[in-house]
Structures are given as structure tokens and as C-alpha cells.
Amino acid sequence: MSDSESIPSAPGPSKPLTDSYTYHSPKPTAPGPYILGVDEAGRGPVLGPLVYGVAYCPASYNEELDELGFNDSKALSAETRQELLGSLSSDPENLGWSVRVICPQAISRGMLRMPATNLNKQSEDATILLIREVLESGIQLSEVYVDALGTTSKYEIYLSSLFPGINFTVQNKADATFRIVGAASVAAKVTRDACIEGWTFEENDNDEWSHELGSGYPGDPKTKAWLQNSLEPTFGFPKLVRFSWTTVKVILDKSAHTVKWTDEGQASLVAAFKSAEGRDKDRCAVTKDLSIKSVCVL
């Protein structure tokens, strides 16, 4: 069994990631109150999902948590991260964790719709959803630590207004400061890596696209090469790609076939409007405002 298949929060073998989803570990049984940390993995990459993670434990468990070695997941090797996820799952009485996996299609739909749901708003929604579902499971939270998203003070006030009675700390690099945020960082990063490693391209049964993706960041030469080699001029990219990223838009504008969209309903509406404008040009302002089209109306 590969590493990606052994991660419970990742899709199963040969299962395409087509929808966003939430995974929760078994609920801890130790008495509260609990502290909870929030962090993410995958905000910047042009490929794959954005994953938000939370980890939580009793406030009285802090000393034991310090000994487990959690830290900013980016500062740890992949092997260490996977071992730490095992540690996070090794004490179900005291430790719990959850992830929200936001699929690339959902990210793009949100950012491209009108009005747009930008990445910050999608991130906030994921954070709020995870905290709310942990509370709904019966866990009593006293402290929540969040790795910074935007202006820290405003975000603290906003979260506190949604969850009165919980003390929120929103801080830059919280994953390196608070062990419980480091644990959330590990859960998010290991889940995202497993999603990428085990990605199933639903668009092609022969899996013709290479898995040499690089880091997924737009500046990575391997990722750039993969994007250039994976473009289908008519249909674009597989669903692994975030179509809302500027990097992708530039490639599509330069190398894909141009498509002109015609909305027949909109065209008819515009024509009717122009026709009405022509009829209205000699009418006075009062009759236009009151929609009086003939003396019969009077």
C-alpha cells in the first residue's frame, strides 16, 4: 500500500477528487475544555486542492503535546510529517483532528463566478465549518489558535463574534509558535500531499498525464513544464488545475483555441432594448419614466 492510500483523510485508491469534502478523526473522550489549532496547506499552488486542517486536545494535555514534536509542516520532511500524523492518531482519548479538502474545481468556480468568492472567503468558510462541526460533535473549546489570514485583529474579532465564549488568537506563523497549530499544519499538509500523489485523472482512463507535477507552485520549473505539456488546446487542462490562477489564464490565452461565447438570450435582450430606445427617442421624460406608451393608458 502506498503512502497516499494509507492516509484516511485522502480519497481512496483510483477515486477522482471531484467534490470538496470534510474528514473527522474519531472524537476524543477525555474531559475538556479543549484547545484547537487551525492551519492550511496549498493556498499558493496552481495545482490540486486547498486543505484546511484543525487539531485539538484537552488544555491539560499541553505538556504531552509539546513532546510529540509538532511544528510548521513546511519545516519538516515528508517522512517526519507522516510519522507525526500517526502520532496525532495514536492517542484517540486525547487527540482529534479534521480536514476540509477544497477541490480545485470549487476554488475556480468560486473565484470566477460573479460576484467572486475569493480565496480568503473560501478559507474563512472552511475554518468556520471545521470549528462549528467540532463544537457540534460535543467538544468544548476554550482556546482556538489560527495561523494568520489577512489582518489578524479583524479576523480575531470576526471569529469571536461567531463563536462567543471562545478565546481566539490569530497570529502570523502560529504553526511554529503553538504546537496545536503545528499539528493542524501536519494534518493539512499530509492530506494535500496524499491527494496530489494519488491523483486520478477522471478525464482519461489511460492516465496519459504525467505525475511529474513538481511542487505545484507557478514558479516551479517542473510545474511550468507540466502545464505546458498538459494543455489540450480545445478543452484546456484536467481538473487538477486551478483555472482561476493568472498563470493558467496566460497559458490559455497564448496557446489554446479562442472561443467566442454567444448568449442568444442576451443578444435578443440587447436588440429589444435598442429597438425600444429608438421608439423612445422622441418621447418626453415623464412618459418614459411612467412607461406611458400611448394615450390609451391615460
Establish whether 72 is an annotated binding residue: no
Tell me what pLDDT residue 282 has: 58
pLDDT tens digits, one per residue of 224-255:
999 999 998 988 899 999 999 999 999 999 99
Contact 14, 154 (CB under 8 A): no
Tell me what pLDDT residue 290 has: 39
Q: What amino acid occupies position 229? A: N
Name the most confidently modeled range: 130-139, 168-177, 275-284.
Answer: 130-139
Confidence of residue 258 (pLDDT cuts 50, 70, 90): confident
Q: What is the pTM of this model?
A: 0.84
Bigger pLDDT: 293 vs 31:
31
Confidence of residue 82 (pLDDT cuts 50, 70, 90): very high
The C-alpha angle 178, 179, 185, rounded to 5 degrees, equals: 95
- The rounded distance, in Å, linking the Cα atoms of 63 and 76 is 21
Confidence of residue 69 (pLDDT cuts 50, 70, 90): confident
- Which stretch of 57-61, 130-134, 231-235 has the lowest confidence by average pLDDT? 231-235
Tell me what pLDDT residue 6 has: 83
Establish whether 19 is an annotated binding residue: no
* 181 class by beta-carbon count within 10 Å (0-12 exposed, 13-18 middle, 19+ buried): buried
pLDDT tens digits, one per residue of 11-55:
977 788 999 999 999 999 999 899 999 999 999 999 999 999 999
- The rounded distance, in Å, linking the Cα atoms of 212 and 18 is 21
pLDDT tens digits, one per residue of 157-202:
999 999 999 999 999 999 999 999 999 999 999 999 999 998 888 8
Tell me what pLDDT residue 263 has: 65
Name the average pLDDT for the chain. 86
Q: At what angle do helices 246-255 and 221-230 cross, to 10 degrees?
A: 40
C-alpha cell at 227: 502545464
Q: What percent of the chain has pLDDT over 70?
A: 83
Cis amide leading into 13 (omega within 30): no
Establish whether 39 is an annotated binding residue: yes
